[in-house]
Amino acid sequence: MKGPEINNSSRRSFLKSTGHLIIGFSLYPFVSCETKGTPLAPYNGTPLRQHIDNKLIDSWIRLDAEGYLTVLSGKQELGQGIKTALIQIAAEELDIEPARCRIINADTGQTVNEGFTAGSNSVEGSGKAIRNAAAEARLYLFKLAAQKWNTSQESLSVANGIIKSKKGDEISYWKLLEGKFIEEKISGEAVPKNPSQHKYVGQPLKRDDIRKMVSGESHFVHDLRMPGMVHARILFPPSYQDKLSSIDLSQVESMPGVLKVIQNGSFLAVVAEREYQAVQAREKLKSLAVWNKTPIETLPKQLFDTIKKTSGKPEEVKLSPGIAEVIANTAISHSAEYFKPYTMHASMGPSCAVALWEENLLTVWTATQGVYPVRATLADLFSREEESIRCIGVPGSGCYGQNGSDDVSGEAALIAKEMPGVHVRLQWMREDENKWEPYGTAMGFQLSAGMDADGKILAWDTNVWSDSHSTRPNGRAASFVSARHLEKPFPFQKGGFSAGSYRNGIPEYTIAAKQLHLYTFSGPLRTSSLRGLGAYGNTFALESFLDELIHKSGNDPIDFRLGNLEDPRAKAVLEKLAEKTNWKSRQKTETNGFGIAYSRYKNSTSYFAVLAEVEIDKAAKSYRLKKLTGVIDSGLIINPDGLRNQTEGGMIQSASWSMLEEVQFDREEITSTDWTSYPILRTMETPEVEVHLIDRPDTPPMGAGEAAMGPVSAAIANAIFDATGSRIRDLPLKAEKVDWKKV
């Protein structure tokens, strides 16, 4: 089904013809929300139009007749605060107060295709594009004003969007444009501001999304309420390979409020007038369904041994011929193995989406991290032209990777096709979220290294075993898990992205001989992107192993790292950590332990060093994570509160993964179905967290959202060893794994 054509001359007519692009700066077109506060009304200051070229200024920046600046970004707000940071960047370059700025993000009807919001790349990528477009817009506006007043651009100044000349002339950006858009291309002539002139960048601008969450206002995709909206639930098979054998749908169809029951192969869904009616109908479906079951072959305790045996020929990521002999002949050598289990996003709110199927347009309100990739995947699922599908990004419950948001978007669309002209809201149940989201994969690590007598690392050899870290929607319908359950299923082929598997696997330390082999395996559980990808597991193994080398050589953990690093910024975060924690004069007792870890995320972005302090209880054979102190260098700081919050959040999430989290399963199914069977760090267990920032305004800003994940895990393991003398090499770091006889 082909949608309306879009080109430069008809993009306004496209928006008129679709009929469903009436959205302003509200997140919710056609929405009245029944949460706290007044229902959100669309902001209509900027006429909407499809972007056609990411080289155009107005694909990133728009100045509307109402006196606002509109920022456009293809990146999704995931709770990381990018909406605020991107507004600060644009406001800075155009000298407009942030209060006069709005942002539209992640909408295939309006914003540029920026792929996925992933890899801590939003400020680096989208921020750079917006900065350049805003600087170009300022240059263009100064040229217009100079022509208007027959003066030089150098004689002009601007404050809050008002251009002034030395002769006393003044005009606003908006009046100067007379309601027109800036349809000029970004030439590259404009030079962004010098950081010394920054007024808004670097300031702790408050985030409106946090205010909404704290006050209980409408914010999430779960809050969407559309006119005449109906509610849906789906019933997944008990496990991955199970197929529906039989079911009597009539008993469900006759239930109160049920509007439709859908069966398509093993895909089962119910639609009802009210949400609880849909939940009740789903429970009835569950009691009636008979499944042909296929057992899960590999159990958790067998996993590491199995993946080592079943992995094929390794990928030679980095080679150093003769490295084994070099290590064998060093003064101090060491080898060890480490393991990371499957972990889940465990989003607090189960995945949710709203879909509307019409003859010429399918609209999906989605919490995906990639509206354009999801649109392409929906096009494959329904054999529709991409231009006849619009995906509108709405914040969901935080995931930092691929949770169920993509899947639920596809499923909402499948159901909406059966209910044309009606807004269908689909939300997963808690057990759906826990059992069917794509997990962070299990990984195994085998490390060997050799040092000289002075503690200089001479050689380092790494073997990594990993399943895929990316099965995101990529234009193939099988990326949606339920597409595999249809009567005519879409065959699934696991994605690659091997670089995600060995991310941070090669030490940044100055070592003459380094080697890494990557073994790819296909594990028993569904996997995809989870915060940091392989960097979390690789850094846990690398920095834990480094700590073992440090203790074996009798060196100080910070001094040793400083002695094996050359990058002055790497050294600076460690030196500041030592200063802020009084490392040299720390109080060591029989009941506490300290652990250090460091990493530069992806060996190319933010620098992060951390100290973990644990306190042990010998009698109870337990430990408590008492405090985490981190130092981060992310280059130019856009919003110090945002950077600090991202780092604190990453530290706490990593602590939860590291101490508690692992997906449990048996032959039949996933058994981690709720907060009891998959515990996460609770408020009372959360350690004190302290973060120190290093601002480098003379360097570009770098992504920081994933920088803390790996170092925190290793720091905790190293602190446990410091306190107990017992080394835990497989995650999670449960107290029961400590050899308490050594304490």
- Picking from 33-47, 460-474, 628-642, which range would have the lowest pLDDT averaged per residue? 33-47
pLDDT at 163: 92
The per-residue pLDDT for 5 is 33
In sequence order, which residues have a C-beta less than 8 Å from that of residue 197 and are 6 or more positions away? Answer: none
Q: Verify that 139 and 232 share a domain, yes or no.
A: no
- Same structural domain, 161 and 278: no
Min mean pLDDT across 427-431, 658-662, 705-709 is at 705-709
The reported pLDDT for the residue numbered 303 is: 92
- Check whether residue 77 and residue 202 sit in a common domain: yes
Query: Which of 403, 419, 436 finishes a domain?
Result: 436
Q: Kindly state whether residues 551 and 677 are assigned to the same domain.
A: yes
Q: Side chain identity at 3, as an amino acid letter? A: G
- Which of 215, 244, 278 finishes a domain? 215
- Phi, psi (rounded to 5 degrees) for 61: -135, 130
Diameter of the chain by CA atoms?
86
pLDDT of the residue at 27:
36
Q: How confident is the model at residue 104 (pLDDT cuts 50, 70, 90)?
A: confident
43, pLDDT greater than 60:
no
Q: What is the pLDDT of residue 455?
A: 86
Over the stretch 524-540, which tens digit does the pLDDT of each residue have?
999 999 999 999 999 99
C-alpha 529: how far from chain center: 8
- Please give the pLDDT value at position 613: 98
Q: Could you read off the pLDDT of 55-78 as tens digits, one per residue?
A: 888 888 888 877 889 888 878 877
Q: Is residue 334 part of a domain?
A: no
Span 373-403, pLDDT tens digits: 999 999 999 999 999 999 999 989 877 889 9
Whether residues 426 and 368 fall in one domain: yes
What is the per-residue pLDDT for 85? 87
Task: Give the pLDDT band of residue 115 (cuts 50, 70, 90).
Answer: confident
What is the number of domains present in the chain? 3
Q: How confident is the model at residue 19 (pLDDT cuts 50, 70, 90)?
A: very low
Euclidean distance between CA atoms 700 and 588, whole angstroms: 39
On whether residue 575 sits in a domain, the answer given is yes
Q: Are residues 245 and 205 in the same domain?
A: no
The token pair at 294 is: 């296929």
Residues 6+ apart with CB under 8 A from 259: 230, 271, 272, 273, 419
Mean pLDDT of all residues in 240-244: 94
**414: containing domain:** 221-294+345-436
**Of residues 631 and 587, which shows the higher confidence score?**
631
Look at 4-8, 47-51, 304-308, 380-384 and tell me which has the smallest mean pLDDT: 4-8
315: β partners: 518
Neighbour tally for 382: CB within 10 Å: 18
- Among 468, 610, 463, residue whose Cα is nearest residue 533: 468
**Is there a contact between 498 and 521 (Cβ–Cβ < 8 Å)?**
no
Residue 136 to residue 61: CA distance in whole angstroms:
10
For 680, counting Cβ atoms within 10 Å of its Cβ (0-12 exposed, 13-18 middle, 19+ buried), the class is: middle
Task: Quote the tokens at residue 15.
Answer: 């928006």
pLDDT at res. 76: 83
Same domain for 181 and 231? no
Q: Establish if 3 belongs to a structural domain.
A: no
pLDDT(488) > 90: yes
559 pLDDT above the threshold of 60: yes
CA distance 728 to 712: 14
Identify whether residues 254 and 108 lie together within a single domain.
no
Q: What mean pLDDT do residues 553-557 have? A: 94
- Comparing 91-95, 594-598, 728-732, the range with the smallest average pLDDT is 91-95
| Predicted confidence (pLDDT) at residue 42 exceeds the cutoff of 50 | no
The answer to the question of residue 306 being in a domain is no
Question: DSSP per residue over 247-263, as a string?
Answer: --THHHHTSTTEEEEEE
Domain check: are 655 and 679 in the same one?
yes
Q: Could you give the CA distance from residue 590 to residue 616 in angstroms, rounded to a whole number?
A: 9
Q: pLDDT class for 136, splitting at 50, 70, 90? A: very high
* Measured distance CA(312)–CA(579) in Å, rounded: 47
The mean pLDDT value of the chain amounts to 88
Give the residue from 189, 215, 241 where a domain finishes.
215
Does a structural domain hold residue 339? no
CATH of the domain at 628: 3.30.365.10
Higher pLDDT, 80 or 357: 357
Place of tokens 């989208």: 126
Query: 326-335, 591-600, 602-611, 700-709: which has the minimum mean pLDDT?
Result: 700-709
Between 472 and 423, the more confident residue is: 423
Q: Are strands 513-520 and 457-466 parallel, antiparallel or unpaired?
A: parallel
20 has pLDDT over 80: no
Residue 263, pLDDT score = 97
For residues 648 and 205, the model is more confident at 648
In a domain, 565, yes or no: yes
From residue 560, give the alpha-carbon distance in Å to each of 22, 575, 578: 60, 12, 13
Q: Using pLDDT thresholds of 50, 70 and 90, give the confidence band for residue 84.
A: confident
5 within a domain of the structure (yes/no): no
Do residues 428 and 524 share a domain? no
What band does 215 get if pLDDT is binned at 50, 70 and 90? confident
Residue 625 sits in the same domain as residue 534: yes
144-187: pLDDT as tens digits:
999 999 999 999 999 999 999 998 999 999 999 888 888 888 88
299 found inside a domain: no
pLDDT in the model for residue 247: 96
Structure tokens at 634: 């992310």
Class of residue 297 by CB neighbours under 10 A (exposed 0-12, middle 13-18, buried 19+): exposed
β-strands 69-73, 61-63: how paired?
A: antiparallel
Same domain, 156 and 106: yes
Confidence check: pLDDT of 495 > 80: no
